[in-house]
Amino acid sequence: MTVDIHAHILVKEILAGSGPEPWRPAIVPAGDSGYLVKGRNFTNGPAFRAIVEPERITAAMQAAKVDLAVLSTPPYAFFYDLPAAEGARANFVQNDGLARAVGSDPRHLAGLGSLPLQDVALAVRELRRIMGELRLSGVEIGSNVNGEDPGSDTYLPFWEAAEDLGAIVFVHPSYFCQLGSDRMADYYLRNLLGNPMETALFAAHLIFSGILERFPELKVVLAHAGGALPCLLGRLEHGYQARAEPKLRISKPPSAFLGNFYFDTITHSATSLEFVIKLAGADHVLLGSDYPYDMGYECPVDIVDQLTGLTAADRERILSGNALRLLGRAP
């Protein structure tokens, strides 16, 4: 069995035409059977695989040797930039649609909801609905919320609730307020470099803010194999030993919190993936595709098959066992 922890859906309930609100994105045809997604202040794409219809996503996943896809919204549909009440409404609609999509084929689909994190109280209320009434597996959040780091004290009630509910927290780089975006307008660098740096910054804040020390049972999944974090962990570790500032809110070095993180396999390099597995352990690495985007994998199992040093048990953990454990599902 194979489980993809990082695959996207844009539920039809959120689209323009399904309601009068101006925040609803629209699907626009582009080129040879491709499409763009256009919203208030962005255009995303083109993409050439289905993102709306659950049955087409399932078919594409099965063709790519994936048995269970854990679906979450693309990051342009976090709706953090909306006023709090509007953001809560958008996420409510989106999460209802995701629950319906998952319910249409629970054998092959699971879901991670989204939250109006621009208002933490509303976010906690929606998190409880996601985990209770909607019976989803957790949430996806952005690496920043309108430029504010989720590791700040503002978000303590969210992290407390996430731990209490046993929710998976999947962290995806935010498209807006991205680190250094004013210097990365060319060459697609906002994705190529911006995304992995955003994830590393998020993870470093979560470590040094003391969130992981305070809530040690959190289950935090980092997109794109943790971005730049694995390569920079040694520098964070040295900084903790050499400087006073990193010790302000934690009593242990950064490496002590590595076990709180899980990493998907999206590295585009077998050598890089081997390094992540060696660093984090095969029990903390999960298969991911970034479906349906061109910066992901068409067949995510292929990168795992390139790893010649994996034991059969470790291969099974990465392909399905770790994800099933996080999801609370039997093999």
Residue carrying structure tokens 């256009």 = 38
Res 185: pLDDT: 87
- Average model confidence (pLDDT) across the chain: 95
> Residue 6 is inside which H or E element, if any?
strand 3-8
> Residue 285 is inside which H or E element, if any?
strand 285-286
User: Within 10 Å of residue 297's Cβ, how many Cβ atoms?
Assistant: 21
Q: Is the confidence at residue 115, as pLDDT, over 90?
A: yes
Q: Is the confidence at residue 175, as pLDDT, over 80?
A: no
Asked if residue 262 lies in contact with residue 284, where contact means CB atoms within 8 angstroms, the answer is: yes
Q: Is the confidence at residue 254, as pLDDT, over 70?
A: yes
Q: Is the confidence at residue 177, as pLDDT, over 70?
A: no
Instruction: Please tell me whether the overall predicted TM-score, pTM, comes out greater than 0.75 for this model.
Output: yes
In DSSP notation, 93-142 reads HHHHHHHHHHHH-TTTEEEEE---TTSHHHHHHHHHHHHTTS---EEEEE
pLDDT band at 181 (very low <50, low <70, confident <90, very high): confident
Q: Is the confidence at residue 102, as pLDDT, over 80?
A: yes
pLDDT band at 252 (very low <50, low <70, confident <90, very high): very high
Res 176: pLDDT: 72
- Residues whose CB falls within 8 Å of the CB of residue 329, separated by 6 or more in sequence, listed in order: none
Q: Is the confidence at residue 178, as pLDDT, over 80?
A: no
What would the pLDDT profile of 6-50 be if each residue is shown by its tens digit? 999 999 999 999 999 999 999 999 877 789 999 988 888 888 999
Domains, the chain, in order of start with CATH, read 3-11+51-327 (3.20.20.140)
Determine if the peptide bond prior to 20 is cis (ω within 30°). no
Percentage of the chain lying above the pLDDT 70 cut? 100
Residue carrying structure tokens 């309930």 = 13
**Region 108-130 average pLDDT:** 98
Strands 138-142 and 43-47: unpaired
